Homo-oligomer: A and B are copies of this chain.
C-alpha cells in the first residue's frame, strides 16, 4: 500500500483527491500550505506527492525546491491552465509530471501509476546517443569505445546534454542541473566549458550545436 501526500490549499480539492486515492488503496495525508507540507513529507515519507502550484505563502515551486534537497519522492504537479511557464519551471526543478485542473480521475490515477512504477524495463545506468556512451556507473564517457578524459563539470554537462540528445536544453536548465546548489554564477563560464567539451569530443560524430539566445543541443550522426 502506498502513502500519498496532498499539498493543496483548497479544501474541496483535498477532499476530492482523498476520496479518489483512498478508493484505490492509498493511505492519504494532507497539508493545506507549503511549510506544513514539507513537515508532513519529512514525517510520513510518502510514496508520492500531489502538489498544487498555486499555494499561498510558500509557493508550490519553492516547496518543490526544498523537497528536492533531500527527497527523490515522485511529485505530481496540480496546476491550472495558463501556468505554462510555472509548469516548465516545476519540471526543470525535478517534478515528475503534471495534470491540469480540472482533470479526470482516470487521468490522475494513470499518471500516478506511471510516475510510481519504477520497475518495468530495466534501463542500464548508461545513456547512449549514436557513438557516444555516458556511463553513470563508472563516471566515464566513451565515443566508439574510446574513453574521453573529462573533468567533473564537463562530465555533468555532457550528461545533461546527452539525456536530452537531439533536443534543445536551455541555458537555464543546464545551469540548474550542472551547478545545482552552488552559489557561483556560471552564466559566463558555461561558454568556456562548452568550448572545452567540444574540443574533447573532436570530430567523431558527436557535436554540440548552439541555439542562439536559447541553449544548446547535442547532435549525433
A93 to B73, alpha carbons, bound, how many Å? 23
Cβ contacts under 8 Å, A181 to chain B: none
Q: Which of A15-23, A32-40, A112-120, A191-199 contacts B (4 or more CB under 8 A)?
A: A112-120
Q: Say whether A125 contacts B111, CB under 8 Å.
A: yes
Task: Scan A199-213; emit 1 where CB is below 8 A from any B CB, else 0.
Answer: 000000000000111
Query: A120's contact among B88, B96, B151, B152, by CB below 8 Å, is which?
Result: B96
Give the contacts of A1-27 with B (CB-CB under 8 A): 1-2
A-to-B contact residues, CB < 8 Å = 1-2, 45, 47, 70, 72, 74, 84-85, 87-88, 91-92, 94, 96-98, 107, 110-111, 113-125, 127, 136-140, 151-152, 155, 163-164, 167-170, 211-215
Cβ contacts under 8 Å, A212 to chain B: 151
Q: Say whether B107 contacts A137, CB under 8 Å.
A: yes
A-B contact pairs, 19 of them (CB 8 A): A1-B70, A72-B116, A84-B163, A88-B137, A91-B122, A91-B137, A96-B120, A97-B120, A110-B125, A114-B121, A114-B136, A115-B118, A115-B119, A118-B119, A138-B164, A138-B168, A140-B167, A151-B213, A152-B213
Task: Look across to chain B and name the residue whose beta carbon is closest to the beta carbon of A137.
Answer: B110
Q: Say whether B167 contacts A127, CB under 8 Å.
A: no
Q: Say whether A91 contacts B125, CB under 8 Å.
A: yes
Cβ contacts under 8 Å, A92 to chain B: 137
